[in-house]
């Protein structure tokens, strides 16, 4: 083991248990410098020049066995990470990379090595996953035909199967990458998970909810300083895959209503930019934009490879006076703008993200109808000093809202509504292998999360309160005028425990979920005044165990 500050540039993977939250908390405390926004992840430690104790602690854990060869090749072994989950009788939980939303036992294993020589970096960190995927009580199979059509409206415009194949095992490149550094920029080929935006529990665009996808990126490898302030950014070109899994557990429903997938992969192009003004260094303002479409419908012009530089409206005017409407190329666009403001003196941070997933017809329509096809997020974190100098009460919360706005009642005939966040009629869902790339709570779902914990360095004991409104867009499309039906809402209480022992890091959650009106089913007579929806009590458990080869 080398002494002093580790010099290698291994990444802190997106959503790394304990460490990801620990660094964010230290940033709120002001023990980490204000240059990095931490809104573009994974975090490459070569980009962080900060030598604070918090940075050194995380580097020490990630470094493992670090060696330096005579040929000036530095290399090391990454920590061994094991993540296990268990759901009793319905799927719950998100933000788990290659693990699928299922019932039963699941496990995730990952380790590897990293190396660097000059301007070249290599990280090989494959993933192995096993999912039991038991069958369970899902969508009500005896619903009316019109309700079945409404349910398959979202299934056919997305890729979110109820049940993945049982006893599924998968070996994947995982959090691997090859990176070439040129000054403050880097060219990267990677299958890593990426995270764009300020969210703590969810993200509107990219998160660690689905398996990482192969992509090329041009990005900053450290904040670029200008007279106006600091900039960070990334442009990606990626490949997304369908799951090719029929959505319902009932084959007869799939036979009647399911629209088969195109036998093709989807091309993804995205850009993110974060700006921190020189006059307010703890403020970060971000912009994200993505396009996806099936590869066979994509051309070979510059605008086909990089649609992120296109106009924001569908109506285009040309010099000859012709007006052309661009809305038939099968492109699915998402745009979001966000901010995060950190106040170290108050031990506080606040953030918000607002997204829209459909082109406006023109600028007039955009100004008059900004709430169309939108999603938003709002969150905060506050620390209170506790008994010891290193001990704090951590209070953090987040609201993520995907449900269509009331705009649905004036824009569309009847009360049906149309697309929801992460869905598209031609490009299917904003997904990879059947899991959404951003918000993992389910299509058209809203979630409110509040955590209260006692934290000290890497250790934590706390409570998690969560309220999840499931598939709200489907509910109001199918049952909006039915007084005998009420939304399916999950209320849950989670027990949190994180601990570091020598070379081990443990992160755990035991969550008890009480479902009201589960799957919108009624038990016996139900009226508007006395709804009698089905109740369900379930359990979700997660255990992350990391073993590092570092000496401490």
289-313 tens-digit pLDDT:
999 999 999 999 998 999 999 877 7
Predicted local distance difference test score (pLDDT) of residue 48? 66
Distance CA 27, CA 391 (A): 15
Tokens of 292: 């996806």
Predicted local distance difference test score (pLDDT) of residue 55? 80
Helix (H) or strand (E) holding 474: helix 472-479
Tokens of 119: 């301007």
551: three-class secondary structure by DSSP: coil
Residue 63 φ then ψ, to 5° = -65, -40
Does residue 324 have a pLDDT over 90? no
pLDDT bracket for residue 66 (50, 70, 90): low
Does residue 367 have a pLDDT over 80? no
Distance CA 368, CA 370 (A): 6
Distance CA 38, CA 349 (A): 13
First to last CA, the chain: 11
481-487, Cβ contacts within 8 angstroms, sequence gap of 24 or more: 481/415, 483/527, 483/528, 484/522, 484/526, 484/527, 484/528, 484/531, 485/517, 485/520, 485/522, 485/526, 485/531, 485/533, 486/516, 486/517, 486/520, 486/531, 486/533, 487/517, 487/520
DSSP 8-state assignment for residue 68: E
pLDDT bracket for residue 257 (50, 70, 90): very high
Does residue 46 have a pLDDT over 70? no
Does residue 106 have a pLDDT over 90? yes
pLDDT bracket for residue 325 (50, 70, 90): low
pLDDT bracket for residue 6 (50, 70, 90): very low
**pLDDT tens digits along 188-199:** 999 999 999 999
Does residue 215 have a pLDDT over 80? yes
Q: Give per-residue burial for 241-272: e unless 16+ CB within 10 Å, then b.
A: bbbebbbbbbeebbeebeeebbeeebbbbbbb
**pLDDT tens digits along 67-81:** 666 567 888 889 999
pLDDT bracket for residue 364 (50, 70, 90): confident
pLDDT bracket for residue 107 (50, 70, 90): very high
Does residue 17 have a pLDDT over 70? yes
Burial zone of 319 (CB within 10 Å; 0-12 exposed, 13-18 middle, 19+ buried): exposed
Which residues, other chains included, contact 176 with Cβ-Cβ below 8 Å and sequence gap of 6+? 112, 123, 124, 125, 126, 190, 191, 192
394: three-class secondary structure by DSSP: strand
- Statement: the pTM of the whole predicted model exceeds 0.95: no
Predicted local distance difference test score (pLDDT) of residue 3? 39
Q: Which of 74-78, 528-532, 534-538 has the lowest mean pLDDT?
A: 528-532
Tokens of 520: 């919108």
User: What does the domain layout of the chain look like in residue ranges?
Assistant: 11-547
Superfamily for domain range 11-547: Capsule assembly protein Wzi (2.40.160.130)
Q: Give per-residue burial for 383-418: e unless 16+ CB within 10 Å, then b.
A: beeeeeeeebbbbbbbbbbbbbbebbeeeeeeeebb
**CA 220 to each of CA 115, 185, 226, 274: distance values in angstroms, whole numbers, following the listed order:** 20, 4, 13, 11
Predicted local distance difference test score (pLDDT) of residue 7? 47
Q: Which of 130-144, 415-429, 462-476 has the largest mean confidence?
A: 462-476
Instruction: Count the Cβ atoms, other than its own, within 10 Å of residue 146.
Output: 8
What percent of the chain has a predicted confidence (pLDDT) above 90? 66
What percent of the chain has a predicted confidence (pLDDT) above 70? 88
Distance CA 175, CA 179 (A): 13
Does residue 529 have a pLDDT over 70? no
Q: Which of 401-410, 478-487, 537-546 has the largest mean confidence?
A: 537-546
């Amino acid at each position: 083991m080398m002494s002093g500050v580790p010099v290698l540039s291994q990444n802190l993977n997106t959503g790394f248990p304990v460490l990801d939250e620990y660094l964010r908390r230290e940033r709120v405390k002001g023990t980490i410098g204000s240059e990095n926004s931490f809104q573009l992840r994974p975090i490459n430690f070569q980009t962080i020049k900060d030598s604070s104790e918090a940075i050194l602690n995380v580097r020490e854990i990630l470094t493992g066995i670090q060696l330096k060869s005579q040929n000036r090749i530095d290399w090391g072994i990454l920590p061994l990470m094991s993540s296990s989950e268990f759901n009793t009788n319905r799927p719950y939980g998100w933000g788990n990379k290659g693990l699928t939303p299922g019932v039963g036992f699941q496990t995730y294993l990952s380790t590897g090595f990293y190396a660097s020589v000059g301007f070249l970096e290599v990280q090989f960190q494959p993933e192995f996953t096993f999912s039991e995927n038991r069958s369970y009580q899902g969508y009500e199979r005896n619903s009316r035909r019109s309700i079945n059509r409404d349910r398959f409206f979202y299934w056919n415009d997305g890729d979110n199967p109820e049940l993945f194949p049982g006893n599924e095992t998968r070996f994947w490149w995982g959090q691997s990458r090859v990176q070439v550094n040129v000054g403050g920029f880097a060219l990267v080929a990677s299958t890593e998970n990426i995270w764009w935006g300020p969210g703590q529990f969810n993200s509107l665009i990219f998160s660690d909810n689905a398996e990482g996808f192969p992509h090329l990126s041009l990005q900053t490898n450290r904040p670029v300083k200008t007279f106006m302030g600091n900039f960070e950014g990334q442009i990606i070109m990626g490949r997304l895959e369908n799951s090719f899994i029929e959505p319902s557990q009932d084959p007869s429903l799939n036979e009647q209503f399911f629209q088969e997938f195109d036998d093709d992969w989807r091309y993804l192009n995205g850009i993110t930019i974060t700006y921190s003004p020189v006059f307010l260094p703890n403020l970060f303002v971000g912009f994200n934009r993505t396009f996806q479409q099936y590869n066979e419908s994509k051309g070979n012009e510059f605008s086909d490879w990089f649609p992120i530089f296109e106009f924001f409206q569908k109506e285009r005017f040309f010099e000859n006076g012709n007006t052309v409407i661009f809305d038939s190329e099968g492109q699915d666009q998402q745009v979001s703008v966000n901010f995060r403001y950190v106040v170290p003196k108050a031990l506080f941070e606040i953030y918000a993200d607002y997204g829209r997933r459909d082109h406006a017809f023109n600028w007039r329509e955009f100004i008059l109808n900004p709430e169309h096809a939108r999603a938003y997020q709002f969150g905060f974190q506050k620390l209170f000093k506790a008994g010891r100098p290193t001990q704090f009460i951590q209070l953090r919360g987040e609201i993520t809202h995907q449900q269509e706005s009331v705009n649905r009642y004036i824009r569309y005939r009847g009360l049906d509504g149309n697309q929801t966040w992460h869905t598209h009629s031609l490009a299917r869902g904003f997904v990879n292998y059947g899991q959404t790339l951003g918000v993992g709570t389910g299509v058209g779902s809203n979630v409110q999360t509040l955590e209260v914990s006692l934290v000290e360095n890497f250790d934590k004991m706390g409570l998690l309160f969560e309220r999840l409104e499931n598939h709200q867009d489907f509910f109001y499309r199918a049952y909006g005028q039915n007084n005998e039906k009420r939304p399916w809402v999950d209320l849950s209480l989670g027990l949190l425990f994180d601990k570091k022992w020598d070379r081990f890091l443990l992160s755990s959650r035991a969550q008890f979920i009480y479902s009201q009106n589960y799957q919108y089913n009624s038990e016996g007579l139900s009226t508007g005044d006395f709804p009698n929806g089905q109740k369900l009590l379930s359990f979700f458990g997660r255990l992350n165990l990391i073993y590092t080869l570092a000496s401490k």
